[in-house]
Structure 1
Amino acid sequence: MSADHIESADDALITLRHGARRVILAPHIGGAIAAFFDAHADGERHWLRPATPDALAARNPLGMASFPLAPYCNRIRDARFTFDGALVDLSGDGNLFPHALHGNAWRLPWRVEALSEASARLTLSHAPSMEAAHHWPFAYEAAQDIALDGTSLTVTMSLRNLSDRRMPFGIGHHPYFPRTANTRVHARVSSMWHTTPDPLPTHIAPHPSVDALASPEGMSADAFDLDNNFAGWTRTASIAWPDEHRAVTLDADAPFDFMVIYAPAAFPSLLCVEPVSNVADWVNLDVDHTLKGGGVLEPGDATSVAFRLTPRTD
């Protein structure tokens, strides 16, 4: 996609610049990143899969380069869970998936609160009475501080509970990386959550992908059919294209203690390596917190967490 800055009141794309590096933001499409690339005289070198004109026209967050996950991430079984003795029913939130998915922030427009040549602050305020079609029964505000420097793209996510009661939360980001026959993923994890076909987690156990990820050459993106959460992540991963002599390193802060890899065999062009604070359906899993993650914000409390994407070329 082009790095042109489109001027429009309702659907402006914002271009951040630092040297040859570019980030294009689509605040109106779920506060998403639409592209992250280096601009060269002979073309653009993309570090994330860029949004297509069709995805932008359709305002489809799933077609963006990356989008925020808040106030929860991953799936919630049957869109229901019990918290502090009360049933939370998300089945009427307008989500077209069989289970609640990724919160509502990715399906709502964000506001540009601050902007400079190489950074932007995007914000979102949610009140349950205002957004019945994107139901979440807790008021909250979220922010993304997105900044370029000479080395990395840094995204700092913040979430504050505006309700008068405790709020469960999860937070993450959903980057799509270019996937080719030679793409490799390297990361150190301790185990993988196995799933039902939905997919929802059933149990945590070894899997051949754990050793493949840790191998010196990394795991081929085509090696396994994955849509899985990984536990015991050291909060760093690299996605490499050895034949193109380049790679990008993803590193994250706590509580991004879990990693999702989405590398479906049925869609060989898709690859996601996602920093997240919890595994899917964490609110319904009866396991130790260290295995599932997730958190709780008291009224008025906030949390903040960052991740970075650092490109490199050989």
Structure 2
Amino acid sequence: MTASSPRRASIARAASPTPFDAAALDDNQLIALAHGASRALIAPHVGGSIAAFYDDDPIHGAQHWLRPATAEALDARDPLGMASFPLMPYCNRIRDGRFRFEGEMIDLPSGTGALRHALHGHAWRRPWSVESRDAGSVTLHFVHEAPARGGEGWPFSYEARQHITLDESGLAVRLWARNLCTRAMPFGFGHHPYYPRPPGTRIAARVRAMWEIDAEVLPVTLSAHPAVEALEDGLVVDQFDLDNNFSGWRREALIEWPAEGRRLTLRASAPLDYFVLYSAAGLPWFCAEPVSNTTDWLNLQLDGLAGRLDVGGTVLAPGESVEAHLAWLPGRI
């Protein structure tokens, strides 16, 4: 738990109160998926992001399941203003943008101050290509080529795909990645969704423990924080000011908007066994993120602060691939 954090400063622009502009849907760079009254808008050019997921209600207008992108965010190609974006090749931050892997110190491009901690990988900052599409699905493709030795950037080549499907059950994403290197590569992945947060919004999830954080929002120790029990019973989002990772997630979370009679179930598959809850006070949205690794997992392993079961992440051999599934399933209370 934290009263203020560098992460909050870095995403403040995403909290803009500018209302969603339906005219943004006319952007021919967005891919519209439709099934019955359900709609999903995909922005391949904005980090392979999901721009919106909603029901088109002829009486009440659009009912959004994820926080929709604004026209401002779409114009700026700002993934932090999207409904959700992919996290690859690691989730959240790496302390000081540095880690040691197989005896080699890896330095990642980073800024200064709070931004010296490498954030969310890089796939969210680059355009994805459209590999195939139809009325209810789209497959996006992304390739990262490692820089020449001594150059800046993630020093491992890989490719990734997102297969996004909208059907009668909801919106689903199949994430896949493959190591293109001739050497092993550490890898973590997930998605970073934002949700509407009207008063009374609550979330329920079963987790084992919460990572307490330091002043720079980096995990330092596992604890049985009160939020762990509150999540199991159904946590009212406004009651907790969190920016924390949870281990032992059962890969399901239930979000409810009681005043609207709506609920949204988030389901995921292994290895998305970790869960991030970001519910800073005063924002009109919150984040509940399915991820495969704890923030700074590579350094936590080296520091011996936790066993592998509590930090996640994986190592892909040359040519090895990994995949996971996640879905948002709308319903009524």
Pick the TM interval, shorter chain.
over 0.9
Aligned to 2:39: 22
Alignment partner, residue 180 of structure 1? 198
| Gaps in structure 2 of 5+ consecutive residues | 1-20
| Aligned 1:127-206 pairs, distance under 5 A | 127-129=145-147, 135-206=153-224
Could you tell me whether the CA contact under 8 Å between 1:71 and 1:103 is conserved in 2? yes
Q: 1:95 to 1:68 in 2, by over 3 A?
A: farther
SS in 2 for 1:222: helix
Among all aligned residue pairs of Structure 1 and Structure 2, give the percentage whose two residues are the same amino acid. Answer: 50
> What letter corresponds to residue 295 of structure 1 in structure 2?
T
The whole-number CA distance in structure 2 between the counterparts of 1:84 and 1:61 is: 32
Indicate if the aligned counterparts of 1:72 and 1:103 stay in contact, CA closer than 8 A: yes
Which residue matches 1:295? 314
Aligned to 1:241: 257
The Cα of 1:98 is off from its aligned counterpart by 2.5
Deviation at 1:149, TM superposition (A): 1.0
1:209 to 1:137, Cα distance in 2 relative to 1, 3 A: same
Distance 2:138 2:26 in 1: 14
Q: Pick from 296, 299, 321: which aligns with 1:281? A: 296
1:77 to 92, 95, 102: 95
> SS state of the match for residue 193, structure 2?
coil
Q: Give the direction of change, closer, same or farther, for the CA distance of 1:101–1:60 in structure 2 (3 Å limit).
A: same
Classify the secondary structure of the residue corresponding to 1:175: strand
| Residues 264 and 331, structure 2, Cα contact 8 Å, conserved in 1 | yes
Q: Residues 46-61 of structure 1 correspond to what in structure 2 (within 5 A)?
A: 46-61=64-79
**Rounded Cα–Cα distance in structure 2 between residues aligned with 1:129 and 1:5:** 37
| Secondary structure of residue in 1 paired with 2:227 | helix
- In the alignment, is the contact (CA less than 8 A) between 1:93 and 1:133 conserved in 2? no
Counterpart of 1:270 (choices 277, 285, 301) is 285
Equivalent residue for 2:50?
33
Change (3 A) 1:186 1:133: farther
Alpha-carbon shift at residue 124 of structure 1 (Å): 0.4
The residue identity in structure 2 corresponding to 1:281 is: D
Which 4+ runs in 1 deviate beyond 6 A?
93-96
SS in 1 for 2:33: strand
Distance 2:83 2:216 in 1: 24
Q: What is the count of residue pairs matched by the alignment?
A: 306
* Gap regions ≥5 residues in structure 1: none
**1:307 maps to 2:326:** yes
Task: Tell me how large the CA RMSD over aligned residues is.
Answer: 1.8
C-alpha separation in 2, matches of 1:95 and 1:106: 21
Tell me which amino acid in the other structure corresponds to 2:77. Answer: R
Aligned to 1:224: 240
TM-score (norm 1): 0.94
| 8 Å CA contact 2:37, 2:56 repeated in 1 | yes
Task: State the TM-score, normalizing by the size of structure 2.
Answer: 0.89
SS of aligned partner of 1:213: helix
User: How far apart in 1 are the matches of 2:51 and 2:113?
Assistant: 22
- Which region of structure 1 is more displaced relative to structure 2, 57-66 or 85-94? 85-94
Asked if structure 2 preserves the Cα contact closer than 8 Å seen for 1:167 and 1:297, the reply is yes
Distance in 2 (CA, whole Å) between partners of 1:194 and 1:96 is 18
Q: Is the 8 A contact 1:27 1:111 kept in 2?
A: yes
Q: Check 1:92–1:280 CA distance in 2 against 1; reply closer, same or farther (3 A cut).
A: closer
Partner of 1:213: 231
Deviation at 1:284, TM superposition (A): 0.4
In 1, Cα distance between equivalents of 2:74 and 2:329: 25
* More helix, by proportion: 2
- How many angstroms apart in 2 are the aligned matches of 1:29 and 1:134? 22
Q: For the structure 1 residues 195 and 179, does the alpha-carbon distance in structure 2 shift closer, same or farther, using more than 3 Å as the test?
A: same
